[in-house]
Chains A and B, each alone.
Chain A
């Protein structure tokens, strides 16, 4: 067993970027195991998806033409059947919200281990060494496992595969047991736009859990007013109901690309960074010199926000 099976992600008629990144990770692994890279694309306009996934390094694209949108039962059944036929060593899926909705079930059915949110991969054909983070990104770890496994990879860690390949595109020989599908997707909804569009702002003053109390948000609004900037936030601030959802920056919030992003009391968890790493200049104000936000910040003040923010506001008043 040396082949790799990678499972593409798509939503509402579009392949998601991580699908192409998955091809790169899959090819690297296949080179190490000396095997082929098989890609599965399940549901939706599979023919169209398959031709887009036929990039350099892909050997076969298996299409499962069943239903329009994601259903985890369809994915789990299709992947386990493909696995039984192809006997790949590793199944790679994105560590996306949908990936996490089927990959653990696939691993359980196949009775193989699962390792999630992987940022680095290596194998000598026998042992798989996966690099992942723990404690909210404070440490990185390596974990090893023997034998076949399901691996979910973090987005934006591998470059997207490019070029055109000469993969065989094959309708997969799988049967879906409809009676076993216990969940139905009834539709989608965009989270309300609201009054302010933070993705339009040139300067964002962004606030995180370091602010501690709702009342303290005044400090941040005062600064934003002095700078003529817009206030955005990390998830906990929105979860607490202190600011509306349309102010949330991140994976499940908005992607922003301002000229200046000032992250105040924000640790820089990967899901937050996903929404703001494209900012031109990133400034962090944080008491923790090792907070992950420091890795992407251009400038930092390692100090108490309750001292720094009022002092900064005073500079402009």
Chain B
């Protein structure tokens, strides 16, 4: 079985930051492997270690800078990686779900995996819709927000648990090939070993552009445009206690005593 995992490098934001236009100023940003994708990678690698998957391939949309993040996924055990980038993508301020679906879909159609694992959402733009979109576009089955996957795939189906709201899980069977969007908590993502990190440097990392995928730049022109970004207006009337830790702890202790909590 071949598994493809979508891996995104997401921007992390410092506690204090400034907004320039419709972006957070570069100097307040860091980069990390998307939290949800980390769990998807781990699930794929575990399937490989169990002898169920023969190959785990990652696919990322992003500029050269994000290769360090892709290497993280390779260091954890993925076999090879594909990075999609093109000058035409440079100008786009918000890559919408449709554009991601077309780009990732073209790679997946080419690779023809049995199982695609994506994160439930990405921590930066937070759309939560790419996995299911790709599935529908390719005629794959799917399940969103999966927090448990049985590893036997009997009769060509995946038995999953979908995590619903309010502590309820849905038990579902999904025919393969399928896309599963992976929720945190499905497993415990590993740290990359030193050996893994060394090996990752030698693993194949292909870069493909729009022409390689047979996609016209006009086709992935986003239909959504980001027109404003601002810090949310706080309606809060929070009382912030000032002072060192002893002083603020005393304030809080007084409040708790007033409320009848402890003495």
Contacts and interface: CB of A to CB of B under 8 A. Distances in A.
Interface of A: 11, 16, 70, 72, 76, 95-98, 100-105, 107-109, 113-117, 129, 132-147, 152, 182-191, 202-203, 226-229, 235-236, 238-241, 245, 251-255, 259-260, 281, 283-284, 287-292, 294-304, 307-308, 311-312, 314-316
A133 B24 CA distance: 13
Contact of B249 (A113, A136, A260, A312): A312
Interface string B112-155: 00000000100111111111110111000111110000000000
Nearest to B105: A108
A297 B238 contact: yes
B169 interface: yes
- State the main secondary structure of chain A at its contact with B: mixed
B132 A101 contact: yes
Interface string B6-19: 00000101011101
B261 interface: yes
A147 to B, nearest CB: 8
A9 to B, nearest CB: 10
Interface of B: 11, 13, 15-17, 19, 22, 24, 94, 96-98, 101, 120, 123-133, 135-137, 141-145, 161-175, 178, 181, 184-185, 188, 223-232, 234-241, 244-246, 248-253, 255-256, 259, 261-263
Contacts, number: 266
Contact of B174 (A70, A113, A182, A255): A182
Contacts of B170: 70, 185, 187-188
Contacts of B236: 294-297
Contact of A129 (B96, B144, B172, B227): B227
A122 B98 CA distance: 22
A6 B117 CA distance: 30
| Residue with the highest number of chain B CB atoms closer than 10 Å, among A96, A141, A314 | A141
Given A139-B231, A191-B169, A260-B261, A103 B225 contact: no
B168 A140 contact: no
Nearest to B223: A113
Contact of B169 (A103, A133, A189, A308): A189
A133 B94 contact: no
B235 A295 contact: yes
17 contacts: A100-B128, A101-B144, A105-B133, A108-B101, A113-B223, A135-B123, A135-B124, A138-B13, A139-B13, A143-B224, A186-B173, A188-B171, A226-B262, A294-B236, A299-B252, A301-B248, A307-B245
